[in-house]
Structure formats: C-alpha cells, structure tokens
Structure 1
C-alpha cells in the first residue's frame, strides 16, 4: 500500500511528532510505502520515507493551514494513495490521530468575539470536517475523555473511535542499570546525590505550566528549597522563565535544557516529575515517568493523569487549578520519604504490568485496515 501522512510541522522533540514518526516507521516496517506532506521538517530524515515539503503560503497559521490543505489535496489527486492519515485536523482524511484536545470544547469557554474570529472559525471548520457524523474518518484517540468531548460537540459515532494504548520507548523502563545511570547523570551535571531532583519535560512551557512549577518551588520552606534541583527540558524560549526564577529568588535551583535525545537519563536521575499543565490531551511523559519509576504531580486536566491515580504513584491535582494546592503537594512529596518510596515502587510495578508500549503497532493495524482503491 501507498500511505500519505499529513503533519504541519516536524521537529524531533514534540510528542505528536514522535508519535507520528513511530507510526509511520511501524507501517514502513510492514512493507508499505510512506509519503509525508509537511510544511517544515527539522532534524534527520528517515531512510526510505518520501518527505514532500509543502510551500508555505499565508501570513497567519490558519491561512497557512488552509493553503497546505489545498496544495496537498491537489497533489493527492494527481498522485493518489490508498490511505491518507492526518496528525492535524483537516478535511478528506481516511484516518486521524487525535494528539490534541477538542477545539470546540476550548472555544466554548472563550468570549463571543473570539468565536467570531477567522482563526476560530477555521479551526472549528477543520475539526468538524473530521468529527461530523457525515464524515467517514476513522479517529485514533489517546484517552476516553477525548472521545467524550468530541461526541458532546459533534455527535460522532462510537464505532469511528479507536482508543490506542500509550507508546513509550522501552529505554524509559526502569531496570537494574537505572540506579547507576542516575548516579552517572548527576555526577556529569554537578548535581549532588542528596539533592531532590525535579524534572519537567515538554515543549511549550506555558502550556506545560513551567511558571506554576517555579512558583511552587519558590514557596517551599527554605530548608527543602535548598535541596531542590529543577531541570526543565523542552523546545521553547527559556528567557521569560529564567527571569521569573530570578524574580522568585530560585535561579540557583533551576536549569533549562533544549530538546534532546537522552531523556531516559533525566528520568532515571529524577525524584519527581512535575506536570501542572494548562492543557494536555494525553501527556506521554507521564507514562514515561511511571515506567522509569518516577513519582508524578500532574494537573487533573491532563489526559493521562488517570494513570497516575491507577498506579498510586503520585498526586493528581484537582480542577480548577489552584496554585496553593500544588505548593502543598510539592512540599508533601519532598518531605514524606516513606510515601515517596511507595510511589516509586508502585510506578515500577505499573510499568511492568500495564501495556504502555504498543501505540504504534495498534495504530498501524488501524491504518492498514483502510484499503481504498
């Protein structure tokens, strides 16, 4: 089969982008030809995959998205494929991978003028083209909450949804070498073995709630705060957050790292993952932390937060978000060593007992069941 994958932008350290590449590679490994339409590709290009750079036209994101769709549609008409798979919402998809939240749900909580904007109308129209009952698009989702939100707004048929398991790499899994890797990473980065290391991993620092984490660390009692090393990893501009850390008086506790490939080493070195996100359809890093044996504090809005509750390996913050609740949760997590040890053991057990690893294989099954002439 010839498969077309549509994604606006690819960069190596985005969660959606990693899922896309894993799924494309899984389909390729089964002997199928892969064509990718993308506006911008950063990083290495995988061997044997035909990557087509679509011309960028328009001055706004939504106008560029519209131009992308029309260009790809014309190219597919001239060069047809068996199945079109989208990782961003747009018309004429055979399969859509829902890596984000329901835009209609977000728009419903915005003001009247926002909903009248061209940007809002564009995103609602492209979303409706996927989820409308008149659409035939198969929809791969990461959480049950996504299904409920889309059904509430579009009355999408149940049989069109396919719930995927998580799909983390096996190198995230806690093993006999993990304590040694923890020690080596800390020594290489001049971090004391006695420090309490907090990591936060993910691009788009505002959406991930890095500012919330900084305020929680600043609110710790001085004796606890001095023991904290807070490591932030992701593709974003760290300057506003470094300034906030300076203003809060915790700049010595904070380090920022751009997106990188040694995420397992950060996880094995960590005592806690913080993820007080403002918006998060799933949050693959939550699953990665569990598999690595790292307790988690996460906002309840995150799609994969329920895994933390099921594993009994951390704290899920109630919604609506309250900063003082995070502050108290963080202080309790650092202070109660017995509780931390229990969470650590529960996380490892969860990584051993749950299917957290086969998203790409299940997605490939769904895509390859799409046999259009």
Structure 2
C-alpha cells in the first residue's frame, strides 16, 4: 500500500514520536511505501527506498497559525499524491485514520476563560478536532485512552464503530531482563548514588504538563532524613530554567537534575527507585507502563490515562482528583519510608508478564491496512 503519514513535529524521545517511528518501521518491514509530511524533523534520519520525507514550510509565527496553513498544504499535497491511506498523528482534516495521542481539546478548554475561547488558538484547534471527530467524518480513530471516548462522543456524537482501542506500547528495551540488576548498579554508580540513595525519576517532554513542579515541591517537603537521601532526575524535552528557579527557591537545587532527552532511558528506569508522573493533563502516560515493564514502582495522578495500570498491578499509588499538593507530599514521604518498594517492584514485573504491553504498532497497522471506514473488503 501507499501510505501518507502526517504529523506536526518529529523529535527524539517524545511518546507520540516514538510510537510514530515504530509504526513507520513496521509498515516499511511489511513493504508499504510511505510519504511523511511534517513541519519540523529532528533526530532520526531514516534511509529507506520506500520512505520519502517532506518537511513543509508554511507562514506564521504562532504554532496554531502554522498548523492551520499546514493542514491546507497537506490536503493539497495528498490530493496530488493519491495515497491508499492518509494517517494523521495530530488532528487534521482529510484523514482515513487518526492516531489519537491527545485528549479532547474542547472539553479541556471549558475550564479556560471565555476570552480564551474567542482566541485564534482556540478556533484553530477546535476546528481541527471537529474535522476528525464530527459525526459525518469517514475515518477510523486509534484510541489510546478509553477515558477520552465519552468526551469526544459527548461533543461530536462520534459513532462507536469508528473507535479502535489500542494497547499500550512499550519498546522491547524497557522490559526488565537478566541484565537489569547490573545495569541498575552501573548507572547508579555513574550518577554517584549509593545503595541508601533514593532516586526519583520523571520521563516525558513538556515539563509543565507532566507536573515536574509538583514533583519538585513534593521532594522539598520530604522529612529531613528522606530529603537528604533523595534526588530527582528529569528526562525529556522542555523548559528547565523556571523549574530550576523553583528548586533553588525551595533549597533543593542540588537534588534536581534535568538531563533532557537521552537514548539510555531504559537504564534510568532500571536504576530508579520510584517513577513520579503527577501530570496536570495526560491522555495516556507511556512512562507509566514503561516503568511497570521495567519493574519500577510509580506515584501518578488519576487523570493519566494509564493510571489504572498502577492500580491493577498494585505497584504504587494513584493520587485522586482534584489534585492537592499536600496529598502528593504525604504520599511520596509514605512510599519512600515504608519497606514496600521491593514488593511493588515484584508486582510490576508480574503484571508486565501477564499484560499485553508491546503490540500497539501491530494493532495500529491492522486498522490502517483494513478497508476505509464505510467500505467493505474486496
């Protein structure tokens, strides 16, 4: 098949981007021809005769203006190309399949001011979302979080049969194996962490949305004995400067480390003692299931789409909504001071053995390769 894959931006280490890459690589393995359309491309340089990369230049200083022009440009490019399927990894018109990595925009916007809902940014994102989810659209939706489906259906009356629930995707290198203890010791030694040190980990881009500030505050609130043993490591892409100012103001700057995106995330998952994922907003939270696969206990907020995996696995704690900082402060202190970390590790590993955590790309391609919505197989 000839496929057109469309996404706003590709950069290493983003959850959506890693899933895009895995789906692309699997599609190429199956012999499909792929044209990729994007606004920006960073990192991975695929060299494959069946893949062609189109980095489109569009006008506009603000992201939403550029997205609007990009949507129009892509529709023109695709019309000339006539691929068998158009697959979007962001909300765009004219898709045959949409990979739904983002929460319902219009639902979240209700919490914003009336003036925001009159802004150009709101109008553009609302229009792009409606193009995908409106009742009469003829597309299939790869749904990552089942909790989002009723929200989309409430606003757009999207038919049930257009949704296809995807399992979590965890790359093979994240799963604990026989080498895990050795890799754990090696990285902790490299970071200067002793056996008694407590390593807290956050993984993911967009530091504000992931709740890094909440983790910093919880670290600062630990009792003296625990705070002196604990350090927070943050991997991902985002603005670290304002968060480091917060850490300095709270007197823990030396215990907070921003390492940006890295290729050895698996080693950090193995080396850490606890994953923190107190997100303000999170459609899924791939880091949560990656931590489970690595045998790492987790403290997460209930609004993360994958928080239920922590509950089912019994490998940590889930903070109820609405979020309250003292609640997280107390939970972190409790988790680090009680001798349950090893039991939570064992529970995570047991859960990862009995739960499908690695086949999302295969599921996605089955939907992409299927007849278009409303068509039947020849």
TM-score by length of 1: 0.98
The aligned counterpart of 2:342 is: 341
Q: CA deviation at 1:132?
A: 0.7
Q: Tell me what 2:247 maps to.
A: 245
Hey, what does 2:107 align to over in structure 1?
105
Cα deviation, residue 35, structure 1? 0.7
Q: Distance in 1 between matches of 2:365 and 2:226?
A: 47
CA contact (8 A) 1:164 1:362 kept: yes
- For residue 256 of structure 1, the aligned residue among 234, 255, 258 is 258
Contact 1:38 1:53 in 2 (8 A): yes
- 8 A contact 1:83–1:370 mirrored in 2: no
Aligned residue for 2:243, secondary structure, equals: helix
Q: Find the residue that maps to 2:262 and give its secondary structure.
A: coil
After TM superposition, give the deviation of residue 341 of structure 1 in Å: 2.0
User: What is the distance in 1 between the residues matched to 2:294 and 2:225?
Assistant: 27
Following superposition, the deviation at residue 193 of structure 1 comes to: 2.3
* Residue number in structure 1 paired with 2:156: 154
Asked whether the 8 Å contact 1:273–1:296 carries over to 2, the reply is yes
1:332 aligns with 2:300: no
Structure 2 distance, partners of 1:36, 1:18, is: 15
Q: Deviations over 1:100-141 (max 9, x none)?
A: 100011112222111111211111111011101110110001
How does 1:11-22 map onto structure 2 within 5 Å? 11-22=11-22
CA contact (8 A) 1:172 1:288 kept: yes
* 1:246 positional shift: 1.1
Query: Aligned partners of 1:323 and 1:100: how far apart in 2?
Result: 25
Q: Which residue of 1 aligns with 2:125?
A: 123
Determine the C-alpha separation between the residues in 2 that align with 1:370 and 1:53.
28
Kindly indicate whether the alpha-carbon contact (under 8 Å) linking 1:94 and 1:136 is maintained by their aligned counterparts in 2. yes
Distance, in Å, in 2 between the alignment partners of 1:210 and 1:47 is: 36
CA distance in 1, matches of 2:246, 2:28: 45
Shift of 1:355: 0.1
**1:133 maps to which residue?**
135
> Alpha-carbon deviation of 1:47?
2.0
CA distance in 2, matches of 1:132, 1:321: 32
CA distance in 2, matches of 1:370, 1:95: 11
Write out per-residue CA displacement over residues 51-90 of structure 1, whole angstroms, 9 at most, x where no aligned residue. 0011121122111111111111111122210000001111
Question: What is aligned with 1:273?
Answer: 275
Question: For residues 243 and 61 of structure 1, what CA distance do their matches in structure 2 show?
Answer: 27
The residue that corresponds to 1:357 in the other structure is: 358
Matched residue SS, 1:232: strand
Q: Give the corresponding residue for 1:187.
A: 189
2:46 equivalent in structure 1: 46
Rounded Cα–Cα distance in structure 2 between residues aligned with 1:112 and 1:243:
32
Query: When the two structures are aligned, how many residues end up with a matched partner?
Result: 372
User: Match for residue 62 of structure 1?
Assistant: 64
Match of 1:71 in 2: 73
Q: Counterparts of 2:371 and 2:257 in 1: how far apart (Å)?
A: 46
Q: Distance in 2 between matches of 1:270 and 1:36?
A: 36
CA distance in 2, matches of 1:65, 1:252: 39
Q: Does 1:24 align with 2:24?
A: yes
Residues 125-170 of structure 1 deviation map (CA, whole Å, 9 limit, x = unaligned): 1101110111011000112101111111111100000000011111
Residue in 2 aligned with 1:2? 2
CA contact (8 A) 1:150 1:156 kept: yes
SS of 2:356 mapped into structure 1: coil
2:196 is paired with a residue whose SS is coil
- C-alpha distance in structure 2 between counterparts of 1:6 and 1:16, whole Å: 12
Q: Distance in 2 between matches of 1:6 and 1:356?
A: 25
Q: Counterpart of 2:115 in 1: which secondary structure?
A: helix
Q: Deviations over 1:289-347 (max 9, x none)?
A: 0011110000111110011101011111000100000001000110011x222211100
Do structure 1's residue 290 and structure 2's residue 296 form an aligned pair?
Answer: no
Q: Aligned pair 1:37/2:37, yes or no?
A: yes
Shift of 1:229: 1.8
In the alignment, is the contact (CA less than 8 A) between 1:198 and 1:229 conserved in 2? yes
Q: Equivalents in 1 of 2:45, 2:362: separation in Å?
A: 21
The equivalent residue for 1:217 is 219
Moved more, 170-179 or 267-276: 170-179
**Given the two structures, how large is their TM-score scaled by the length of structure 2?**
0.96
CA RMSD of aligned residues (A): 1.2
